Structure 1
């Protein structure tokens, strides 16, 4: 760094010395020559300190960094595309599974509706059968009650008629016959 400063200090007064016109080209009084000489010294200092090599090295490092960044970006892009494809496949699988679940639910609902309909029909049939049996039982009870009532009325009427027409000894004989008949039918 000190050498660069020293060289620059020596090169600064040279343009001032080259202020005269009409002097030969290789003279410190010629400004073109002084500028050329300063430029060559500047280039020499740059070469001496290997500045072009350093610049090329820095540019190579930067180019390599850019290549690495591009490679990483490509890798990230490919990874993102593979993740996107994977998620799309998973979404398609999930959609298919959801469709299957919905279809199965519809089938289950239809089967449950059919079963409920059959159960309702069976329940109605049982209730109708139970109602028919109750009606039949009520009819039998009514017929039995009417028959019993008719028998009771007939017995009462027969008793009244017999009591008026038949005397006591004959009544006893009829009662004994009736008891024997009932006893024979019951046993």
Structure 2
């Protein structure tokens, strides 16, 4: 505290406070000279060139990355456009396939209707044929029964009305006719 008072008292009287000195130079001169030496060493070792070179390299790398990003973006847009075209083509193909499937389904339905009509007609004809065959069989059966009945009746009538003399006379007529 005492030293501070002395410095303040001497500053009030106009005297410069005594401070550290090197080779008789004030501290600000030493700092100035050391800064000048540092700057000269940096220039001599080409530090600014290294700094600007490093910055230039960094700028070039960033430009390359930007160029690559632009190329990638262009490729991505091309792929997006390609896939959009493929999607549109796929939608058209799907629509065409749906139309084809609808036409095919309509053709199958029409064919099935034709086939069912033909089958109904065949079955109707088969039923008519069966009915006609049953009628023929029934008529033939009736004729056969009628013939059997007529034969039986004729045998009974002949047996009742014909005797041996009538048989002989009939046999003589048949022989004479031959």
Q: Report the TM-score, using the length of structure 2 for normalisation.
A: 0.77
Q: Check if 1:36 corresponds to 2:32.
A: yes
**Is contact 1:19–1:31 with CA below 8 Å preserved after alignment?**
yes
Aligned counterpart in structure 2 of residue 167 of structure 1, from 149, 163, 174 = 163
In the TM superposition, residue 137 of structure 1 has moved relative to its aligned partner by 0.6
Q: What CA distance in whole angstroms lies between the structure 1 residues aligned with 2:145 and 2:90?
A: 79
Look up the match of 2:83: 87
Q: What CA distance in whole angstroms lies between the structure 2 residues aligned with 1:126 and 1:169?
A: 63
Look up the match of 1:123: 119
Q: Check if 1:102 corresponds to 2:98.
A: yes
Where does the alignment leave 5 or more consecutive residues of structure 2 unmatched? 1-18
Look up the match of 2:154: 158
Q: What CA distance in whole angstroms lies between the structure 1 residues aligned with 2:156 and 2:56?
A: 145
Q: Mark the CA change 1:142 to 1:82 in structure 2 (over 3 Å): closer, same or farther.
A: same
Question: What is the CA deviation profile of residues 96-126 of structure 1, one whole-angstrom value per residue up to 9, with x for unaligned ones?
Answer: 2122223212221221122122112211211
In the TM superposition, residue 169 of structure 1 has moved relative to its aligned partner by 5.0
Higher relative contact order (CA 8 A, sep 6+): 1
Aligned counterpart in structure 2 of residue 112 of structure 1, from 81, 89, 108 = 108
> Pairwise CA RMSD of aligned residues?
2.3
Look up the match of 1:139: 135
Question: What is the CA deviation profile of residues 20-78 of structure 1, one whole-angstrom value per residue up to 9, with x for unaligned ones?
Answer: 5xxxxxx8521111111111111111111111111111111110110011000110111
Look up the match of 1:75: 71
List 4+ stretches of structure 1 deviating above 6 A: none
Q: What CA distance in whole angstroms lies between the structure 2 residues aligned with 1:44 and 1:28?
A: 23
Number of residue pairs matched?
A: 154
**Is contact 1:46–1:52 with CA below 8 Å preserved after alignment?**
yes
Q: Mark the CA change 1:134 to 1:69 in structure 2 (over 3 Å): closer, same or farther.
A: same
Q: Check if 1:56 corresponds to 2:52.
A: yes
Q: What CA distance in whole angstroms lies between the structure 2 residues aligned with 1:121 and 1:171?
A: 66
